Amino acid sequence: MLGKERFTGISNDFLSQYAAHSKVGKLARQQDANEMLAAMQQIEKEVQERERINAECRDRIDNMMAEHQLNMDYLFTFGIRCEHRDELMTILQENSQHGGMTLLEATALANARARHEEIAMPDPGYNVNGL
């Protein structure tokens, strides 16, 4: 499933008819969050296996390409890079209780938080030249 089909949830047309503060809108957003969390947890074993294989790869270029492919597959399926999935899971867990955000809004927030962390606390071993 990872990288093969996009997880979309309930249609945006339906969600636009029911605001987040309405009973139906809240329930729909909670259901979306629960379903996306379940889908993410269902493929977690596959993701961990791919991460394990990537960690064992000795060739730096092959490793970079494999990590990139995993991130892009996850991005296509869930709207966030694989390395930032914990942030999205946290937001979805909160949303499954409160139902305040659509999946698009939750994904945007997770991406913003992940980017903020990267900018605020860059990896000290990171080299812009990839070395």
**pLDDT tens digits, residue range 48-87?**
999 999 888 888 898 899 999 999 999 999 999 999 999 9
Q: Is the pLDDT of residue 29 over 80?
A: yes
Q: Is the pLDDT of residue 123 over 70?
A: no
Written as one letter, the residue type at 104 is L
Token readout for 80 is: 């966030």
Q: What is the pTM of this model?
A: 0.80
CA 100 to chain centre: 18
Compare 87 and 13 and report the one with higher pLDDT: 87
Structural contact between residues 107 and 78, judged by C-beta atoms closer than 8 angstroms = yes
Structural contact between residues 28 and 14, judged by C-beta atoms closer than 8 angstroms = yes
Q: Is the pLDDT of residue 130 over 70?
A: no
d(CA 78, CA 6): 7
Written as one letter, the residue type at 131 is L
